[in-house]
Amino acid sequence: MSIKKEQAFKALTRDFESCSGLILNQLNILENTLESETPFLIPEDIYQTIKSQEKQINEYEVKISKNVINTIVLYNPVASELRQLMAMYRLAIMMERIGDNAINMARHIRRVEDRDLFMEFIDPVNNVGIITRKMVEKSLLAFSNNDLDYAIWTIKNDDMVDDFYRSFTKKLINIKASKLKTPEAISTVMILRSIVSRIERIGDMATNIAEAAIFSIEGKDIRHKNKEALEIMEKREEGINP
């Protein structure tokens, strides 16, 4: 690898790690908020931190995407390097979308009006939020550390998050009418559904990151190919090199 190509890859890696850190910090802030005694209250300074970080994530997405293209054009990467660059391009897009969902979750939480009703449902929401945060963390580590096990763990947990989203939505639909007598209560139920929807989307994006990591590591594109993804998982569990 030429010196200039090596420098380009190192710069991309630094930007990727910085962007990853911002996203994980956003998700940790939201997790700590939902675990607090007053999860419906996000102090203005905390909210502004999430908002500021979302702007930085947007800037990193543009920068990483541009530098990936420049590196391909200028340095003629070999196949393994090209896979890494294309995976990083996909990751940049997914990270930006996670940042969007994080700030939207914060906005939803700040709009809660029926706080008692919100508190009735927040524990399971926080639990699945913790899982999706771990999915994001492990999917990012899967790429940066070439760790296939972390990628597989992330993909496996996506079904659980999807199942929770469906069951929780049904639970909200079946809330007794006696609890929905005020506009504040109805608004809070809609907010709860929106929050869980954002969490489910973050889980999907973590899965997309894990799939990109597998593409970078193994050269296999398993997007929309559940059978191939399952085969990789089964071979990994059996100790067979996929």
Residue ranges of domains in the chain: 3-237
Average pLDDT over residues 128-153: 96
Smallest CA-to-CA distance from 40 within 146, 105, 115, 124 is with: 115
pLDDT at residue 179, rounded to an integer = 84
- 231 pLDDT band, cuts 50/70/90, is low
**What is the structure's pLDDT at 216?**
94
For 111, phi and psi rounded to 5 degrees? -95, 0
pLDDT given for residue 225 in this prediction: 57
Fold classified for 3-237: Methane Monooxygenase Hydroxylase; Chain G, domain 1 (1.20.58)
* Structure confidence at residue 209 (pLDDT): 97
Q: Flag whether pLDDT at 242 surpasses 60.
A: no
Residue 67 has pLDDT above 90, yes or no: yes
State percent of the chain over pLDDT 90. 82
Is residue 206 within 8 A of residue 160, CB to CB? The reply is no
Question: Cα separations (Å) of 239 from 232, 234, 236?
Answer: 11, 9, 5
In terms of DSSP H, where are the helices of the chain?
3-35, 44-75, 79-110, 115-144, 148-173, 183-218, 226-237
The stretch 29-43 carries a mean pLDDT of: 91
pLDDT at 165 over 80: yes
pLDDT band at 224 (very low <50, low <70, confident <90, very high): low
Band (pLDDT 50/70/90 cuts) for residue 145 is very high
Lowest mean pLDDT: which of 33-42, 63-72, 202-211?
A: 33-42
The larger pLDDT score, comparing residue 237 to residue 217, is at 217
Burial class (CB in 10 A: 0-12, 13-18, 19+), 47: middle
* φ, ψ (nearest 5 deg) of residue 78: -75, 175
How much is the average pLDDT of 221-227? 65
Residue 212 has pLDDT above 90, yes or no: yes
